[in-house]
Amino acid sequence: MHNDMTPYSPFTETNGPWGVITIERLHQICIYSGLVGGVLYYVTVHRLATRRRGETRS
């Protein structure tokens, strides 16, 4: 995405990873990983809330 970056500086001034995937593919990866993270978050919160409700009843 950023061809002016130098991720391996100070060892080299090249940007080897640049151009490995397209910008569109990068955006897809960001969207899908955000969706997966959101689902995991809400599943975890729901499971913890259910577990806590079960503990208070016992």
Flag whether the pTM goes above 0.75.
no
Mean pLDDT of all residues in the chain?
Answer: 85
Task: Give the per-residue pLDDT at 47.
Answer: 93
At 1 the pLDDT is 65
Distance CA 17, CA 45 (A): 36
Q: What is the pLDDT of residue 21?
A: 86
Task: Kindly give the parts of the chain with pLDDT less than 70.
Answer: 1-2, 56-58
Task: Determine the pLDDT at residue 52.
Answer: 83
Dihedral, CA of residue 10, residue 11, residue 13 and residue 16, to nearest 10: -130
